[in-house]
Amino acid sequence: MAASAFRRGLLSTVSKYNRKHTHRIACGVDLSSGFEPHSLWLQCRACGLSGGSQQKRFMSSRPEGKILETVGVFEALKQHGKYETGQLFLHSVFGYRGIVLFPWHARLYDRDITPPIADSKPDLPGAHTSKEVKGKTHTYYQVLIDTRDCPHISQRSQTEAVTFLANHDDSRALYAIPGLDYVSHEDILPYNATEQIPIQHELFERFLVYNPAKSPPFTPRDTLKAWQEKNHPWLELSDVHRETTENIRVTVIPFYMGMREAQNSHVYWWRYCIRLENMGNEVVQLRERHWRIFSLSGTLETVRGRGVVGREPVLSKEQPAFQYSSHVSLQAPSGHMWGTFRIERTDGSHFDVRIPPFSLESNKDDKAPPAGYTF
């Protein structure tokens, strides 16, 4: 079943009790057929009050005789500060189990916040009318995704979010590290578990070691520290852009991937991750994309097409979000992208959702190829 149905019941319960109480929540998950929460139990440590919420969806394909197994116990959300390396969590939007590797500090440019007139900046050449805002520091996390949950994340076009330029003669060759993701602080639902290996991922035991004397009880190995240090330029998240149109919020995270030489010229590559979220109650479907790509070399390219990455996702109250990643290359060290998504309502009418303008900036320092990956 879709994890988002579970998410909504869970989030309403957490937010209700988190205001005044420290809470514990135990959840059951059918590990045999993916993320299928059966029920939630909540008990406040402070006063002993209990509350509950049940979300049930039945799957005819679920094998008979399979039982729900406890994953862990939820912890209080951190309203301030950051989660540490080794923190177990559930993703509040996509429902997967994961563990924090390390945090990043990003600049969040939120165009839903009206800036002072004095701070407004002129639009990009040919860009749609959109206010410019100052970046606000926000915490994101590099995490590992539990491989058992990857096949059941239906609201993502792929579960890996980290791709690199391959060491290959083909200038367009890319490769990916599966099961790595970037998660915003507010998407973390922390929990603890008694298992020494609670997350199934090939890199878990290479990067983390169980230490019951610590909290959280998973501490970084030297291999994780070395991997982060060597590949910091390739992993670093710097800017996040967000804008809402008619209750559809678009969030964009661009990453510089490096430069390649091709036919006596330089080609610069970026990856960008996009999340669409339906903040309202109306069911809508993404039908078309319209991109404008401006290069410092002076070129302006227009790209139109059906859907995104071959899909036309439906955004509903039950599955309000969809996320995907794509790539772009320029023959200049910097540029900009912006555009719109054409969204269709159930009555057949359409409206355009703005994609916030974002910069494509190459890092000034030369980078060595990513290191330390052996799969």
List phi, psi (to 5°) of 95: 75, 0
How do 180-184 and 174-177 pair as beta strands? unpaired
Q: How confident is the model at residue 308 (pLDDT cuts 50, 70, 90)?
A: very high
Residue 258: per-residue pLDDT? 82
Task: Tokens 């790509």: give the residue.
Answer: 293
* CA separation, residue 257 to residues 22, 53, 306 (Å): 42, 44, 26
* β-strand partners of 262: 265
For residue 302, count CB atoms less than 10 angstroms from its CB and return exposed for 0-12, middle for 13-18, buried for 19 or more. exposed
**In terms of Cα–Cα distance, which of 5, 53, 358, 328 is closest to 155?**
5
What letter would DSSP give residue 152?
A: G
Q: With beta carbons less than 8 A apart as the criterion, state whether 94 and 35 touch.
A: no
List phi, psi (to 5°) of 279: -90, -5
The enclosing H or E element of 125 equals: none
| Amino acid in the structure at residue 109 | Y
| Amino acid in the structure at residue 220 | P
Residue 312: per-residue pLDDT? 96
List phi, psi (to 5°) of 230: -70, -35
For residue 60, count CB atoms less than 10 angstroms from its CB and return exposed for 0-12, middle for 13-18, buried for 19 or more. exposed
Give pLDDT tens digits for 225-261.
998 888 777 778 889 999 999 999 999 999 888 888 8
Q: Is the pLDDT of residue 145 over 70?
A: yes
How do 239-245 and 97-110 pair as beta strands? parallel
* Per-residue burial over 137-175, b = 16 or more CB atoms within 10 Å of its CB, e = otherwise: ebbbbbbbbbbbbbebbebbbebebbbbbeeeeeeeeee
- Determine the Cα angle at 220 with ends 217 and 223, to 5°: 150
Q: What SS3 state is found at 92?
A: coil
What letter would DSSP give residue 17?
A: H
* CA separation, residue 157 to residues 18, 147, 208, 316, 341 (Å): 32, 15, 28, 17, 17
List phi, psi (to 5°) of 132: -100, 140
As given in the structure block, the two tokens for residue 84 are: 């540490």
Q: Is the pLDDT of residue 370 over 80?
A: no
Average pLDDT over residues 272-284: 95
Give pLDDT tens digits for 329-346.
999 999 999 999 999 999
Give pLDDT tens digits for 4-16.
434 444 444 444 4
Q: Is the pLDDT of residue 74 over 50?
A: yes
Q: How confident is the model at residue 29 (pLDDT cuts 50, 70, 90)?
A: very low
How do 314-315 and 284-295 pair as beta strands? antiparallel
CB atoms within 10 A of CB 259: 18
CATH numbers and ranges of domains, the chain:
73-112+134-361 (2.60.40.1470)
Q: How many angstroms separate the CA atoms of 153 and 319, rounded?
A: 11
pTM across the whole model? 0.76
What radius of gyration, in Å, describes the C-alpha atoms of the chain?
Answer: 22
What does the DSSP assignment read for 165-210? Answer: E-SSS-TT-EEEETTEEEEEGGGEEEEE-S-SS-S--TTHHHHEEE
> How many residues are recorded in the chain?
375
